[in-house]
Structure 1
């Protein structure tokens, strides 16, 4: 009986916890945007004789988001021009002259480029065998070293924001047909989130490899 209650509680928590976290993040973001000094005083209007007086805070948040989106599009369009390339180069040179801040600037720029403009190859999962008989999941970065080695990112589980950047020969890793979502699910869940279908596929691959060897 106790195990049933624990299972029901865990199932409910799995559903509600992500929703609560999402709500908290949205409220935090809303309060931050509300603090932006953009103030408007909308005039009240009437609907079927009822006076509707809008609060200026939600409209101010919406206006802030609209202004930010327009600014992003404007800067993005500017970056497609020759003048935009000059401006970006000047900003990079300026930030790289500032000790300490240049590390934060370059790291955040690289993270944004990876998340927003990365190709499929950038996130393609591969199998790496650092020692005989043990395989680990890594991801291609699309970068190579001067001597022809592939640069891979080997994340830790369950925190994929940390890991190791490693350089290996192309023949030292194996490409798979696994989707990015499947690889991330296995890593984030510390191996517990792997479906039976995935596990069976891995067993078949290992059996085929053992027969070929």
Structure 2
């Protein structure tokens, strides 16, 4: 009877080891495979957009007998960098201004161009604070908290209409789980927003993993002192009582 139990335990142990080894291998291989696949797909997508417009004299594949992946992506990066360099001098700014005047005269095109330009200027602005902070708001009801990315302070008409009580409003982006490609733009009072110390990258990881990948948290000295003060207030130490005379 003991021998049978030992053999059954060995089988269970062997099955558990195989399962653990498989899960460990999956954790190692899956992220690497997905990353390589997405990178390779993006390179081919960029090549398919650039190579058809590339003259044969500048195309390395015209001289080689094999395809060179990444040529289109490299040329696109160089071209965008060159346009940015030219756009920072006087002649380049004049050309860009003239092109913008032409686009602004087209009824449908000007709306798309202005909206797209405003989005890129806001997101790629070097000194901007867009999506550099992560916070929590009570959503969808009081007592439950949702992770949000802080966009910017409310401006324009929204600020004029919502800041009537004297409290500033903040624009936040509430992304769904596990694919944060769409979500809700919400305006909340600054006092209702709880800012976190985690970076936006850590917030995205927490969001995509549905809370499974939690970033490491090291409380600051101020937080530790505040927690100690709260503990001292909640549990005050009573002074020892002096024994009375009998």
Task: Tell me the TM-score normalized by structure 2.
Answer: 0.61
Could you tell me whether the CA contact under 8 Å between 2:137 and 2:194 is conserved in 1? yes
Residue of structure 2 in register with 1:125 after alignment: 134
User: Which of 206, 218, 221 is 1:186 aligned to?
Assistant: 206
How many angstroms apart in 2 are the aligned matches of 1:85 and 1:170? 39
Residue of structure 2 in register with 1:49 after alignment: none
Residue of structure 1 in register with 2:31 after alignment: 14
Q: Secondary structure at the match of 1:158?
A: coil
Task: Tell me by how many angstroms 1:110 deviates.
Answer: 3.8
Structure 2 residue ranges without an equivalent (≥5): 1-14, 164-168, 235-246
Cα separation, partners in 2 of 1:178 and 1:92, compared to 1, 3 Å: farther
Q: Secondary structure at the match of 2:130?
A: helix
Could you tell me whether the CA contact under 8 Å between 2:137 and 2:145 is conserved in 1? yes
How many angstroms apart in 1 are the aligned matches of 2:137 and 2:126? 21
CA deviation vs aligned residue, 1:121-147 (integer Å, no higher than 9, x gap): 211112212322211111222231223
Q: Secondary structure at the match of 2:56?
A: coil
Q: How many pairs are equivalent? A: 193
Q: Does 1:167 align with 2:187?
A: yes
Q: Does 1:31 align with 2:48?
A: yes
Task: Tell me by how many angstroms 1:92 deviates.
Answer: 6.1
Task: Tell me the TM-score normalized by structure 1.
Answer: 0.69
Higher strand proportion (structure 1 or 2) = 1
Cα separation, partners in 2 of 1:125 and 1:6, compared to 1, 3 Å: same
Structure 1 residue ranges without an equivalent (≥5): 43-52
Equivalences for 1:64-83 in 2 at 5 Å? 65-77=77-89, 83=94
Cα separation, partners in 2 of 1:102 and 1:193, compared to 1, 3 Å: farther
Cα separation, partners in 2 of 1:31 and 1:55, compared to 1, 3 Å: farther
Could you tell me whether the CA contact under 8 Å between 2:175 and 2:184 is conserved in 1? yes
Cα separation, partners in 2 of 1:163 and 1:76, compared to 1, 3 Å: farther
Q: Does 1:152 align with 2:172?
A: yes
Could you tell me whether the CA contact under 8 Å between 2:47 and 2:71 is conserved in 1? no
Could you tell me whether the CA contact under 8 Å between 2:171 and 2:186 is conserved in 1? yes
Residue of structure 2 in register with 1:134 after alignment: 144
User: Which of 102, 105, 121 is 1:113 aligned to?
Assistant: 121
